[in-house]
Structure 1
Amino acid sequence: MVRFVEAAGSCTHLLVAIDRSVLGLVALDNARVEIVPTRAMGAWGLCEVRLNEAPVTPIALEDGGLDDLLLKGKLALAARAHGAARRAFELVTDYARERHQFGQPIGRFQAIQHKLANGLIALEGVRLIVDHAAKLHDLDDREWRYFANCAVAFASGALRQASLETHHAFGAIGYADEHEAPLHFKRVHLDTLALGGASQAKRLLASSLLDPDSSGLPEYDLGPAGNALREQVRGWLGQNWSGGRKAEFERKPFAKREFDAEFARDIGMTGWVGLGWPREFGGQARSALELIAFMETMERGEAPRIGAAIQANALMMFGTREQQQRYLPEILRGEAMHGMGYSEPQAGSDLAVLRTSAVRDDDHWVINGQKIWTTTWWGKYMFLAARTDKDAKPPHAGISMFIVPMDAEGVTIRPATTMYDGSFANIFYDNVRIPLDNIVGEVNGGWKVLTGALAFERGLVGGGIVLKVAHAFEQLRRHVMAKDETGTALSDDPIVRDRMATLAAEIEIGRQLMMHCAELAADGLTPPEYGAISKVFSGELMERFGETALDILGMRATLSEQMPGAIDNGRFEQNLRHSLMWVISIGTNEIQRSLIAQRALGLPR
């Protein structure tokens, strides 16, 4: 008896596995074959096929052929489930634009916008990972199996959750069986459970990652130039950031490891600070894939942060020629860091209502106000947003951007410790006088400068986050595989294996979103909604990773840096505390979800 055979009632033959090396071809019109229709998930279409000494034609398979056939089948089912979920999602997005409640379209409600933004993130993740696995298969790349299992493992939960959320947004109208949406709900669930579903895929992922001969997460092909740069940077770090120099740096408390001036100057000599800058500004005009290669290798080498990317972008896009000639070379040489003076006590995500003022006084601007949560407070300059027209309508039309030297008279810095052991500062500006030419862009044109520079950076910020998670995963994997004095390892625990496989699949979704942003950047700027999708997914993945690592490693993993017995000098608990920053900074994930809903889905503002 063979269950869950699709469309058997309309087919002429059945292929059935006799063993792992032989398939059997059975004619369904034979008297010794009985086909019984089966209702599953409330839908007809599957059958139970009963074979009673039915004639069979054997078909030999190559070694591993059955496993590959099953995996191809599961990948195809994931693709079809994605199509069903996507169709229902498109229906509910149209519905949200048109359906009015409480005097306005329901698509304007933040609850609906964020629900649908979550659905789009899941659907894009599945689309990209399925496509990637299929491309690798067609290229006869042996990694196709790994990515196919990642696709199946992720798609099962992600598509089913997207289907549930679709029906939540539809409300009662989608609950009626004559509506199209229930058909897709049933299709998604049947396809993601068939042929072993996610459970089998995660078992195979765990084996490829945690068995003794495993090599960890696969390395992406970043093209000839990207791959070459990765090796070049790896070699440079081996010579310039290793041994005693790196060890001495790592002995410092985390608050002292946020920046290393000597290292920044050394990197400055390579020109890599300006890796993606146009050549006219002294940059190397490298591709987005080369930028990823650089970020990935620096992360794996655990090198300190460098550069002032957002501020440099703003200067290249909106600065005067004199400003570009003055500030860009010292950024490029690693000699100057610029902080970002945006947030205020009453203006966090809503920067349009900031109160810090800049008033013209002859040949100077006079700045007064307070900025909070400023991380790079120790830099040479502050890239400061200030109000130059208090009566502007809308409010963001009265903001300008300035470069403020941090040693200027009237600047008072009050550092504070962050919850992740880093530092930020409250900074007070009391009658701070700066030259007129320290304004970047036009007077009252600061909103364009601010958002333009951030948009340029956001395209790869999600990639930077997921690369941090991928590196931390490899550290966790080593601990999980390590055997104790009894010869056992955490990787022997099936629950640990399942959770590690889940993380691995999600990391690949994050890396696929990163690669997609890089692909879009090759044709110009990454659309802000796609940068937001990558940032939201990867930021929240970092949080999930941090929580999972503590669950797996236990209480000892909560010991902080420089405590006796701390695992990796407190790496994992500190990562969790640090992860909160990545869902808040450069626009909170709630703001990002609204951006996704409005820009990518066309929902009303």
Structure 2
Amino acid sequence: MDAAGPPSDDIAKMLRDSLRGFLEAHWAAGGGKERPSPDDISAIWRKLIGQGVAALGSGHDEGGLREIRVVMEELGRAACPAPMWSAAVANLALSGSRTDAAVELLEKLHAGTAVAAFSFGARDPDEGAGLIRIDGSRATGVLRFVEAAGATYLLVAADEAHLALVRLDASGIDLAPTRAMGAWGLCEVRLNSAPLTLLPLEGANLDDISLKAQVALLGRAHGAARRAFELATDYAKERHQFGQPIAKFQAIQHKLANGLIALEGVSLILDHAARLHDTGDRNWRYFADCAAAFGGDALRRVSLETQHIFGAIGYAEEHEAAQHFKRVHLDTVALGGAPEARRRLASYLLDRGGAPLPQYDLGPAGNELREQVRRWLDQNWSGDRKARFDERPFEKREFDAEFARDIGKTGWIGLGWPKEFGGQGCSPLEQIAFMETMEQSEAPRIGASIQVNALMMFGTPAQQQKYLPEILRGEAMHGMGYSEPQAGSDLAALRTSAVRDSEHWVINGQKIWTTTWWGKYMFLAARTDRNAKPPHAGISMFIVPMNAPGITIRPARTMYDGTFANIFYDDVRIPLENIVGEVNGGWKVLTGALAFERGLVGGGIVLKVAHAFEQLRRHVMAAEGDRPPPGQDPIVRDKMATLACEIEVGRQLMMRCAELAADGVTPPEYGAISKVYSGELMERFGEAALDILGMRAAISEQMPGAIDNGRFEQNLRHSLMWVISIGTNEIQRSLIAQRGLGLPR
């Protein structure tokens, strides 16, 4: 999987921009009609042929699956039923054929003198799609759900190696328009000894063609869902209820935030599958199935929520959103939809020994670092040392001082730091390689990334020279003293005070839920101006040595078997130089450091889920006693496939954040999208693991009979922290809505 992407990135963008402008000029949604006529469709198709789209997928330099997906998305966005899907599938199926009839047909399709309608017939996973029986050079049967309006030829899968070509103006052909999801556009094609020509599939695999066809349909559904979502977002900004725009209501903001997360996930996984196909990567099929499995459900959910936001206005047939709702549902159900994709994914993961989640290509440097870190861990974090560590209770496995110092000697704690601060200046992809390998080895945590970011961005040279080398060597951990009893997500309401007294700051107050309470320092937010307006303007940031007099620590056990502490600061005196940034400038320090870090937080979470999934997959494939493996149960198989596709969407969000970070800082709203999605995925994974493995998976660590020393139930309890910490997901959804969609605060 090519991390950099194929050279068609710019071409795809230009194609999208050009086609969107063209359709806006030449096709009002639905042609301005509920039921565009065949003449309307033929007219717009002739114009689109002039744009060169009819030849996409036919090989050479004509564009691949990625470009097909772009065109289909724009057609979905415009509610334009031009016969692009059938043309693209015909190109994909016949581009390698050298028979005269196939070559002639493609030439006619590309020139616009012929229009194809395509059906997979008996090879369609949906049994209701119908079939034909071939007797010599004649075909008899019924084909349903065919996009045949304006078509002159029918192409239908005859067997694994042939397509049947039928002229639709021949004798023995009857086309009956079919209303589906309340929309017109499909036909039932009845053949009664209709003449046909068999076209060999030279080098083309019909199952692969069907999967590419599904990617194209998902592209169209995504375009339709995205357009309706944008309309709903604009409507929410304009529609007033109870004296204010409904876009200010948290319920509406969170609905729209959920929609944006889902749409981004579908877009990324679809694009990834298409670009892998076009670069010849063998994993394209797996990701295409992930796109179908995730997209089929996600796009329909977005479509439903969009209608909820419109309320009664969306009931009207003349409203554009109604057309998009119908398109989304028709295209996501076709070719077996999400259930069929999940069946294929389950087979990939669990049958014939199963296959692991694909490893991502992180570029030459990232791939090399991944292997380098693996070798180091094999030598330094294995055998008896690792076994002794694994025997500890979970609360003793969060951190290991000796391990931190050992890995500090490698310089990897500063992997992504700029070189001027002693770091290695590595790319976000290399950081992902390191995070992934550490997670797979179940190594304890290291570093203090948020505090490091704050020091590098806002610290004085003296602070940087004092604190950064300690962190880099693995000799010092910094906790975060942010939350208070009345200031959790609302940090602007914090009350802990810092008052200047000669050459010291004197700190008084209480911090709660502090996880790294045992660290050498606390990165602490305190109020230095009680009268500041707005309140966040009176906050400053400090580095507090945890051995300073006046600090009282009261540890408490968390529900995930870790610890946090209530910490009381009573006349704690620290030097003036321990302030980070300007006096009353702490909000900028706090939010700046968090924004820099959030971009990869979601990635760190999804890597944990991916590793846990592999542990679960091995249990699912294993038989116990006389019982068959759980992986033979259809319900278990469906759950595993669902988890797999959701993990891939999480990994795609991670990769997108890395791509954005490589160009600067990941926008806060995009880091929030990744964090919200991955944290809740971790919860869903934990719940699914209990369902699949049963009560034994609920037995906690160090108890007889516990599966993997209580790994799965502990993961579930731990997942709650990731949904709440570094900004609760509810707050993050508001950020996504306001920053990502421009909704009012």
Rounded to whole Å, the distance in 1 between the matches of 2:433 and 2:583 is 38
Pair 1:319-2:482 in alignment: no
Following superposition, the deviation at residue 8 of structure 1 comes to: 1.0
1:436 matched to 2:576: yes
Distance in structure 2 (CA, Å) of the matches to 1:497 and 1:21: 31
Q: Is 1:184 the counterpart of 2:324 in the alignment?
A: yes
SS in 2 for 1:563: coil
User: How high is the sequence identity, in percent, across the aligned residues?
Assistant: 79
CA shift for structure 1 position 497: 0.4
Q: Given the alignment of the two structures, is residue 413 of structure 1 paired with residue 553 of structure 2, yes or no?
A: yes
Query: For residues 87 and 50 of structure 1, what CA distance do their matches in structure 2 show?
Result: 35
Distance 1:228 1:246 in 2: 24
Residue 487 (structure 1) shift: 6.2
Distance 2:203 2:336 in 1: 20
2:725 counterpart of 1:588: no
Structure 2 counterpart of 1:176, one-letter code: A
Tell me how far 1:100 sits from its aligned partner.
Answer: 1.1
Deviation at 1:429, TM superposition (A): 0.1
Contact 1:9 1:35 in 2 (8 A): no
- The answer (yes or no) to whether the contact 1:274–1:282 under 8 Å persists in 2 is yes
Instruction: Tell me what 2:381 maps to.
Output: 241
- Indicate the residue corresponding to 1:143 in structure 2: 283
- Secondary structure of the structure 2 residue equivalent to 1:414: strand
2:188 corresponds to: 48
Offset, 1:367: 0.2
1:15, distance to aligned residue in structure 2 (A): 1.0
Take 1:259 and 1:539, find their aligned partners in 2: how far apart are those partners? 21
Secondary structure at the counterpart of residue 510 of structure 2: strand
Deviation (angstroms), 1:62: 5.0
Q: 1:351 and 2:491 equivalent?
A: yes
2-structure distance, mates of 1:63, 1:253? 57
- AA aligned to 1:456 is F
Which residue pairs with 1:445 in the alignment? Answer: 585
Q: Which residue of 1 aligns with 2:607?
A: 467
Q: Secondary structure at the match of 1:504?
A: helix
- Distance in 2, matches of 1:339 and 1:221, equals 34
Q: Deviations over 1:128-147 (max 9, x none)?
A: 00000000000011100000
Cα distance in structure 2, aligned partners of 1:350 and 1:600: 20
Deviations 1:383-410 (CA, angstroms, capped at 9, x unpaired): 0000000000000000000000000000
Alignment-derived partner of residue 99 in structure 1: 239
Shift of 1:551: 0.1
- Pick aligned residue for 2:209 from 69, 87, 95: 69
How many residues of Structure 1 are paired with residues of Structure 2 in the alignment? 605
The one of 507, 531, 538 aligned to 1:391: 531
- Give SS of 2:195's match: coil
SS at match of 1:564: coil
CA distance in 1, matches of 2:312, 2:234: 16
- Asked if structure 2 preserves the Cα contact closer than 8 Å seen for 1:366 and 1:433, the reply is yes
2:309 aligned residue: 169
Partner of 1:18, secondary structure, is strand
Query: What per-residue deviation string (whole Å, max 9, x for no partner) do you get for residues 538-588 of structure 1?
Result: 000000000000000001100000000000000000000000000000000
Between structure 1 and structure 2, the one with the greater Rg is 2
Deviation at 1:18, TM superposition (A): 1.3
Q: 1:220 aligns to what?
A: 360
Q: Structure 1: which 4+ aligned runs deviate by more than 4 Å?
A: none
- Mapped to 2, the partners of 1:26 and 1:55 lie a distance apart of 6
2:417 to 267, 277, 289: 277
CA shift digits 1:464-506 (9 cap, x unpaired): 0000000000000000000222262101111100110000000
Q: Distance in 1 between matches of 2:143 and 2:461?
A: 73
CA–CA separation in structure 1 for the residues paired with 2:328 and 2:664: 35
Residue of structure 2 equivalent to 1:551: 691
Shift of 1:59: 1.7
Of structures 1 and 2, the one with the larger relative CO (CA 8 A, separation 6+) is 1
Alignment map for 1:195-594 (pairs within 5 Å): 195-486=335-626, 488-594=628-734
Greater Cα shift, 56-65 or 157-166: 56-65
Distance (whole Å) between structure 1 residues aligned to residue 343 and residue 149 of structure 2: 33
Partner-residue secondary structure (3-state), 1:536: helix
Q: Deviations over 1:268-297 (max 9, x none)?
A: 000000000000000000000000000000
Aligned-partner Cα distance in 2 for 1:433–1:92: 54
Deviation larger for 212-221 or 525-534: 212-221
CA contact (8 A) 2:146 2:188 kept: no
- One-letter amino acid matched to 1:103: G
Instruction: Answer yes or no: is the 8 Å Cα contact 1:20–1:64 preserved in 2.
Output: no
Q: Which residue of 2 aligns with 1:79?
A: 219
Report the Cα distance in structure 2 between the residues aligned to 1:523 and 1:266, rounded to whole angstroms.
Answer: 32
Q: What value does the CA root-mean-square deviation take over the aligned residues?
A: 0.9
8 A Cα contact 1:21 1:63, kept in partner: no
CA distance in 1, matches of 2:596, 2:625: 51
Q: 1:439 to 1:178 in 2, by over 3 A?
A: same
Deviations 1:123-168 (A, max 9, x none): 0000000000000000011100000000000011100000000011
Q: Aligned match of 2:179 in 39, 47, 58?
A: 39
409-418 vs 26-35, which moves further: 26-35
Distance 2:213 2:577 in 1: 64
The structural deviation recorded for 1:22 is 1.7
Gaps (5+ residues) in structure 1? none
Q: Tell me whether 1:14 sits opposite 2:154 in the alignment.
A: yes
| Offset, 1:200 | 1.1
1:64 Cα deviation after fit: 6.8
**Cα deviation per residue 1:103-130 (whole Å; 9 max; x = unaligned)?**
1111111000000000000000000000
- Helix, strand or coil at the partner of 2:664: coil
Contact map agreement 1:81 1:191 (CA 8 A) in 2: yes
2:423 is paired with a residue whose SS is coil
State the one-letter code of the partner of 1:258: E
Counterpart CA distance in 1 for 2:161 and 2:691 is 41
Unaligned regions of 5+ residues in structure 2, if any? 1-140
TM-superposed CA distance for 1:63, in Å, is 6.9
Query: Equivalents in 1 of 2:296, 2:737: separation in Å?
Result: 23
Q: Is the 8 A contact 2:225 2:303 kept in 1?
A: yes
**Aligned partner letter, 2:350:** L
Inter-CA distance 432–69: structure 2 relative to 1 (3 Å threshold):
same
Give 1:175 deviation, angstroms.
1.2
Confirm or deny: 8 A CA contact 2:408 2:474 kept in the other structure: yes
In 1, the alpha carbon distance for the partners of 2:618 and 2:493 equals 48
